[in-house]
Amino acid sequence: MIQLAVEIPYWGQSLLRVLGGLVAVLLPAGTIVYLFLFKMMSFMQSRLGPMEAGPYGSLQLVAEVGKWMQKEDLAPDQADHSIFKIAPLVVLTSTFLLVVVVPFGPDAYFTDFAVGVFYGLAVASVSVLGILIAGWASANKYSLLGGLRAAGQLIAYELPMVLATLGVVIQAGSMNLQDIVVAQNTGEIFGFGGLGNPFVITQFLGFVIFMIAVQAELTQPPFDMPIAESELVSGYMTEYSGFRFLIFFIAEFATAGVFAFVASVLFLGGWGVPFDWFGWNNIDQVDDWMNVVGPLIMFTKMLVLTFIIMWVRFSFPRFREDQLQTFAWKVLIPLALANTAVTAIFKVAF
């Protein structure tokens, strides 16, 4: 992880990794819930949101977590109990597995994985299993329908997401997320290196497709057909209460944060600043202070991206189920395929 002057024993490194992972997943989740879900949504509806717990309601989240923890852990009689109880953990685990490949600085990463993009997209789809398990094991028709809808939606939007990422991978010439960051920050736009070359410029279509797919992967409105409360109560989460519901809730917003991390690595230049500014040429010359500034830059970019996700969430009404599927298969996937093809042609031609 972070190279210090002293040698850290293996168990110490592992402990640091676990703590770092917890911070990298839970800190964005808490920030998103307070800043966007509690405050921004309220302000967009011309009200103040929670104001009583702590200054400006900043401890509301602590109160909510306390409330959920003390609630009874209910499971329906007919449910498949052991599997029913595992399901939320499967969903949350996929988030923790995903954050492992995200680099936060030149030396601040959990693992430097050569096929990080491949691995990340693979573990991100594990959450579908958790949701399907939750829907099936609840022994409830609303849960089952919600789980099936979620599975259909998550599989449909996985494709444009993968294809949008493919454009970035082709342009960077690497599947390692660290290499993708370096490629963006050492790149040049027509010989001008002052901005680097964040792929959001060349891959703008890919960026838009990726963000739409992320929105759908997170089942945030307008893609919240799986938990459409007016018809399915709460979809696959209907039968969950207390701590297990809390885990689903955390997973929803933690995944939003982690996907925003991934999107900022793929498209916005990740932890880096354009290397030209400080006269660095490659990753080995990057100064050590980037290990501290890098995570802050990542956090800022994550906030910007989740702001967009939440802004869209609070503005638009929900898609109908058939519109949702049509949009993925007939619009996003062809566009993403075309984007990939054009990127590949440019890559070979220049």
Per CB under 8 A, residues contacting other proteins are 40, 42-48, 51, 311-312, 314-316
**Which token pair is 203?**
């891959």
- C-alpha 124 chain-centroid distance: 9
From the CB of 326, what's the least distance to other proteins, in Å? 17
- The smaller minimum CB distance to other proteins, of residues 36 and 104, is found at 36
- The smaller minimum CB distance to other proteins, of residues 111 and 315, is found at 315
Region label for 140, one of left (φ > 0), alpha (ψ between -120 and 50) or beta (otherwise): beta
From the CB of 42, what's the least distance to other proteins, in Å? 8
CA-based radius of gyration for the chain: 21
- The smaller minimum CB distance to other proteins, of residues 47 and 322, is found at 47
From the CB of 168, what's the least distance to other proteins, in Å? 25
From the CB of 311, what's the least distance to other proteins, in Å? 6
Length reported for the chain: 350
- The smaller minimum CB distance to other proteins, of residues 206 and 222, is found at 222
- The smaller minimum CB distance to other proteins, of residues 21 and 49, is found at 49
From the CB of 21, what's the least distance to other proteins, in Å? 33
Q: Give Cα separations from 200 to 167, 203, 210, 297 (angstroms).
A: 11, 5, 11, 16
From the CB of 48, what's the least distance to other proteins, in Å? 5
Round to whole Å and give the CA distance between 312 and 281: 38
- The smaller minimum CB distance to other proteins, of residues 243 and 311, is found at 311
Round to whole Å and give the CA distance between 339 and 350: 16
3-state secondary structure of 178: helix
Q: Give Cα separations from 187 to 6, 44, 55, 218 (angstroms).
A: 35, 39, 45, 31
Q: Angle 79-318-226 (CA atoms, 0-180°, nearest 5)?
A: 15
